[in-house]
Amino acid sequence: MENKITGAIATIALALIIIYSTTINGSFQLNDVSKLGITSLNFVEASIFNDDAVKDSVPPELSIKNITANIVDDKTGNLSIIFDVYNPNKITIMLESVSYNVYSNSTRIVSGDIGQRPEGFIDSQDSIFPVIGNGTLVLKDKKIIDTSRGLNLSKIATSNSISEFLVNGTYFFKQTSSFQSTGGEKEFSIVYPKH
């Protein structure tokens, strides 16, 4: 019991010495421990946050893994799209949303949104997608092709080897480190399949 009390007193005394040294000198460096006369303790400098990883960060890279158009008849069709989001950074990036349009033969056939940008601090974070450093996230979406605006489904080939799609839009992301947050939006335009 005496050893526990002695250890607690020594810990409190060390904390008070550090606080006192900080207030007199203005700052306390780990190298200053030797000045306290406590040479048997081994202190290692460490950083809780890796702020250097944010300095050289780049936006995530968006690509298309697959597009499938199924034409049921002259009035009905649906489209499935799969995006790959690659994070080339060391830190995790939060992908907030992807807004996209899909064109076939210069005709827009569908528009869509994956996720939702938060409107404020108290907005739900349910639709934000974390993409870990050097990792890839797969996002899928399905849309019904709307023929009510006079879209001719015969312009869309039923075989993806024949159809060429142009997908463009914008994606929104955030990079967070420490108590700082940076981010932005990036426009994209991708032809699928690549030639």
pLDDT digits (tens, 9 = 90+) for 139-187: 999 999 877 666 767 666 554 445 789 999 999 999 876 555 677 899 9
- Quick: pLDDT tens for 63-102: 999 999 887 777 778 899 999 999 999 999 999 999 999 9
The CATH fold assigned to 51-192 is Immunoglobulin-like (2.60.40)
DSSP 58: -
Question: Measured in whole angstroms, how far is the alpha carbon of residue 48 from the centre of its chain?
Answer: 20
Measuring CA to CA, how many Å separate 61 from each of 85, 167, 183, 187? 6, 14, 14, 11
Show me where the domains of the chain are located.
Answer: 2-36, 51-192
**Is the pTM of the predicted complex or chain greater than 0.75?**
no
